[in-house]
Every structure is written in C-alpha cells, then in structure tokens.
Amino acid sequence: MRNLILPGLAGIALFVGGCATSSPIQEYGDSQSSFKNPPELISHDYPESSIYRIYHRAATGFVSIQSIRQAAELRASSFASQQGMDFVVLGERISEPPYIMGNFPRIEVVFALIDKKAAAPPSNERDKYSDLTRLKQLLDDGALTQDEYDREKAVILNQK
C-alpha cells in the first residue's frame, strides 16, 4: 500500500510543479506568435529588422502576470544591452485567467531595438540595488530559473 502512495505523490508533484518556458528572442518577421491572436502593435516606424519577439510562460498558476512581464522585459533589456542598444515595447499579449489546469500565466512581448541616444531617460532613475532586488523577486516567484538569475545578475553588476 505504501508503494502505491509514493509514486502517486511523485506524479502529483510533477504535474503541479510544471516547468517554465522561455522562448529564444526571435526576429519578429521570421517568427510566429505563441498565441492564437498575436499581440497588437502600436503605430511605429521602426524597421522590421530591429523588431523582436519574446515569449515567457510561468511554471505554475501562482505566478503573477506582472512577474512574467518583468522577466520578459529583463531578458529584452539584457538582449538590447548586449548589442549596445536600448529597447521599446511595441505590443504584448497575455493569457487570460483562470490560471488552472495547465493554463499558466503567459506573455508575449514585441519590442524594437533603439539607439541609446534616442531612448528617453527613465522617469525614475534606478540603481543596481533596486534592479537586483527586482531580479531576486522574479527568482523567488519562479519566473526565472537559477541559471537565468545568475546571468542577469552578472549583467546588472557589470553595467554600472
């Protein structure tokens, strides 16, 4: 009887635990949306070659949309920074609740790379410690894996 209970519990833990999914950052024109209806983009005049898409899905239904949005935008920021650029969000699509039975929070963000000189300065200047705090919260929420956290932490520490 005891042997029957343990495999059942392991199966439930695997089902409940799930896994987070993060797509590679892809050029917008050469990729397809992960949603049935792709994100609507704001009116813009950025060249298609500078527009990218990123998809992120939480590992559980207990992660907020805001957390996965921050994770996706952090990845976009890191991607832009590695190329000496900044980014601007052109559109996003989020999944709709209820977040049960595998319908975990998901987001797709479409963004354009822009020259850092063209980027407007942020209204509230953040320091590396607030960025690290936000990054740690994403790790604690399960929106980032330990490897993603370590990579992004190194980027933050080396930027300033």
pLDDT single digits (tens) 114-147 = 998 765 555 444 567 777 778 788 888 887 888 8
Which DSSP category does 69 fall into? H
CB atoms within 10 A of CB 115: 10
Q: In whole angstroms, what is the distance from residue 40 CA to residue 47 CA?
A: 17
Two tokens at 132?
């690290």
Q: In this predicted model, what pLDDT tens digit does every residue of 72-129 receive, in sequence order?
A: 999 999 999 999 999 999 999 999 888 888 889 999 999 999 998 765 555 444 567 7
Mean pLDDT, rounded, for 50-75: 91
pLDDT at 16: 43
Bridge partners of 91, per DSSP, are: 110
Domain spans of the chain, in order of start? 18-120
